[in-house]
Amino acid sequence: MVDVSKQDQTFLKISELWKSFGNFVALQDISLEVNEGEFVCFLGPSGCGKTTLLRAIAGLDVQSRGEIEQGSKDISSLPPAERDYGIVFQSYALFPNLSINKNIAYGLENAGQSKAEINARVEELLSLVGLPDQGKKYPAQLSGGQQQRIALARAIATEPGLLLLDEPLSALDAKVRVSLRHQIKELQRKLGVTTIMVTHDQEEALSMADRIVVMNQGVIEQIGTPIEIYRDPKTLFVADFIGEMNQIFATVSSHNTISFGSKLLECIPHGFETNAQVIATIRPEDIIPQGENEQTSAATNISENSLEVAIHDMEFLGSYWRAELTSVDNGDATLNANFSMNAVRRMNLEIGKSLRIEIPADRLKVFSRNELVH
C-alpha cells in the first residue's frame, strides 16, 4: 500500500537539464520534480524529446547539462547499472531464448536468493500481472499484450524505486490498450512505485497520470494534474494538443473582454493590452445552446456572452452530436460544439437552423497570436 506519509515528498528532481545531439538541442532547460509514489506521464508530439528525457533519467543517454537527483542522491553521472529503476520498452525487449519464468527471474538471479525463493517470487509476479501458468512458455508464444505484462513483471521483479515506461502500450491494438491501461495503473497503485510513463496518446495520459508533463520541441509547456492541464492550459500549444479546442481570432477590448466581429464577449481576465490581436479559445463541450438552459439563462443575463450562429453541419458521434457552427456576427469564423442528444432533440436542432449559443466567460481563454501553432 502507498505510504501516505511519504507522499508529496520529492523522489526525483531534475534541474536545468539540457541534452544535445551534435548541434541539435533535443531538451532545453528541463526542471521537474516527481513525488514519491506518483504516476507521471510525459506527453507530447513525436520527436519532442520524451524518450530522450526518459533515457537521461535511466542513464542510457546521459544529459549534456544539468542534474538529476533520485531519493536525494545525485545520480547525474551514474551509469545505468548504478541507478535504481526498472524499465519497459515499447519493443518489450523480452529475451527470446529464455522462457517467461527465466525472463522474470533474470534480475533476481545471483542476488543472494535461493532457487525456491526466486521461483516463489516469479509465481507471485506472474499472478500479479494476471498471467499465472504461462511461465513455461517462450515470449514468441504470447500475444503482444501478454508480452508487455511479462516485461512489466520483469521490470518490477527487483522492486526498483522507480519504474520507467516508454510507450508501453503503443504497439498494441486499441481494445487491449484500454484494458492494460487500467491494469498498469492498478498495479502501480498497489505497489506504490514512483512511475514515469512516456506516451504521445493524450487519452492514455489523462486517464492514467497523477500529473502530466506536456512537452513540445524539447521544452516543458506545462506540468499539472490531468484536470488542470485540460481545464486550464497555460499555453496555446497545450490547449490545442490536449483535447479539442476552438480557436478564434479576436481583438482585446479590456482586461476581461474581447471583441469578436461586432460582438463583445467576456472572457477569463488576461494581461493583454487593449486592441491586441489575440486568439480566443473554448472547448466544444463548453459551448451551450441557448434555450436549453431556459431557466438559468434568464436568471444570469447571458445575452452578454452569446453568439448568433447557424448550424453548418451535424454529425452523430454516439453519445453526443458534433455541430459545425458558423458565426452570424463574424462570417468566416467557424466553431465546433458538442451538443447532448437531449438538447438536439428538445430544441429540434438540424442543419441550416440558426440558434444562439452561450459562451461561458470562465471557459473563454485568450492567448497571444505569436503562440500560433499551425
Partner 1 sequence: MMSTSSRVQLPAGKNVAVKLGRDDWAMRGFIALIAIYLIIALAFPLYAMLSKAFSTFHVDLSQYEFQVSDESGNFNTESITAQALNENTKIYEEADLSTGSGGRLSVTKFFPDFSFRSPVMYKVRGVDTNAVFLVGSERHTGPDWLELDSNTFRRVVLRPVASTGLGNFSHYFETPALVRSIKNSLWISAISTLITVSLAFGFAYALSRSCMRFKGVFRLIAMAPILVPSLLPGIALIYLFGNQGMLKAMMMGESIYGPYGIIAGSVFFTFPHAMLIITTALAISDARLYEASESLGASSWKTFWTVTIPGARYGLISAAFVVFNLVITDFGLPKVIGGQFNMLAVDIYKQVIGQQNFEMGAVVSVVLLIPAMFAFSIDRLVQRKQVALLSSRSVVYQPKKNSRFDKVCFAYCLVIAIFIVGILAVCQFAALIKFWPYDLSLSLVNYSFDLMDGGGWGAYQNSIKLALLTAFFGTIVVFVGAYMVEKTQGFKTGRSLFQFLAMLPMAIPGMVLGLAYIFFFNNPSNPFNFIYGTMTILVLCTVTHFYTVSHLTAVTALKQMDDEFESVSSSLKKPFYKLFYRVSVPVCMPAILDISIYLFVNAMTTVSAVVFLYSSGTSLASIAVLNMDDAGDVAPAAAMGMMIFYTNVAARLVHAIVSKGLLKRTQVWRAR
Ligand X SMILES: Nc1ncnc2c1ncn2[C@@H]1O[C@H](COP(=O)(O)OP(=O)(O)OP(=O)(O)O)[C@@H](O)[C@H]1O
CA–CA dist 209, 212 (Å, integer): 6
> Which residue's CB atom is positioned nearest to ligand X?
51
The rounded distance, in Å, linking the Cα atoms of 208 and 196 is 11
Q: Print the binding letters for residues 50-79 with Mg ion: x by CB under 5 A, - otherwise.
A: -x----------------------------
Q: Which residue in the set 125, 153, 155, 343 belongs to the binding site for partner 1 (CB under 8 A)?
A: 155
Cα separation, 168 vs 183, whole angstroms: 12
368 is an interface residue for partner 1 by CB under 8 A:
no
Q: Contacts with partner 1 in 156-215 (CB under 8 A)?
A: 157-158, 160
Residue 138 class from Cβ within 10 Å (0-12 exposed, 13-18 middle, 19+ buried)?
Answer: middle
Helix-helix angle 144-156:174-191, to 10 degrees: 20
Interaction residues for partner 1, span 5-24 (CB under 8 A): 18, 20, 23-24
76 counts as binding partner 1 under rule CB under 8 A: yes
Cα–Cα–Cα angle for 9, 13, 17, rounded to 5 degrees = 165
> What is the rounded CA–CA span in Å between residue 247 and residue 285?
14
Q: Is 106 exposed, middle or buried (0-12, 13-18, 19+ CB in 10 A)?
A: middle
With CB under 8 A as the contact rule, the residue among 2, 7, 10, 106 that binds partner 1 is: 106
Q: Which of the listed partners (partner 1, ligand X, Mg ion, none) does 97 bind, with a CB threshold of 5 to 8 Å by partner kind?
A: partner 1
Dihedral pair phi/psi, residue 44, rounded to 5°: 175, 165
Contact yes or no for 181/149 (Cβ under 8 A): no
Strand, helix or coil for residue 365 = strand
Interface with partner 1: number of residues (CB under 8 A):
46
Distance CA 80, CA 348 (A): 63
Residues binding ligand X (CB under 6 A): 21, 24, 26, 44, 46-52, 200
Note whether 154 and 109 are within 8 A (CB): no
Whichever of 165 and 323 has its CB closer to partner 1, that residue is 165
Closest contact distance (angstroms) between CB of 81 and partner 1 is: 5
User: Residue 183's binding partner, choosing from Mg ion, ligand X, partner 1, none, with beta-carbon cut-off 5 to 8 A by kind?
Assistant: none
- Which of 48, 333 has the CB closer to ligand X? 48
By CB under 5 A, tell whether 199 contacts Mg ion.
no
Minimum CB separation from ligand X for residue 166, in Å?
8
> Counting contacts by CB under 8 A, is residue 130 touching partner 1?
no
Angle at 74 between CA 72 and CA 78, to 5 degrees: 135
Exposed/middle/buried for 350, CB within 10 Å: 0-12, 13-18, 19+? Answer: exposed
CA–CA separation, 347 vs 250, rounded Å? 29
Q: Is 45 in the site for partner 1 (CB under 8 A)?
A: no
Smallest separation, CB 136 to ligand X (Å) = 34
Q: Which stretch binds Mg ion (CB under 5 A): 44-52, 64-72, 274-282, 335-343?
A: 44-52
178 binds, among ligand X, partner 1, Mg ion, none (CB under 5 to 8 A by kind): none
Question: Taking CB under 8 A as the rule, does residue 98 contact partner 1?
Answer: yes
Cα separation, 221 vs 32, in Å, equals 12
What nine digits make up the cell of 263?
A: 460582438
Report the nearest approach of Mg ion to the CB of residue 171 (Å).
12
Which listed range, 92-100, 338-346, 351-359, 361-369, lies at the site for partner 1 (CB under 8 A)? Answer: 92-100
> Using CB under 8 A as the criterion, which residues of the chain lie in contact with partner 1 when the complex forms?
18, 20, 23-25, 28, 58-60, 62-66, 76-83, 85-87, 89, 91, 93, 95-98, 106-107, 110, 138-141, 154-155, 157-158, 160, 217-218
Instruction: List residues binding Mg ion (CB under 5 A).
Output: 51
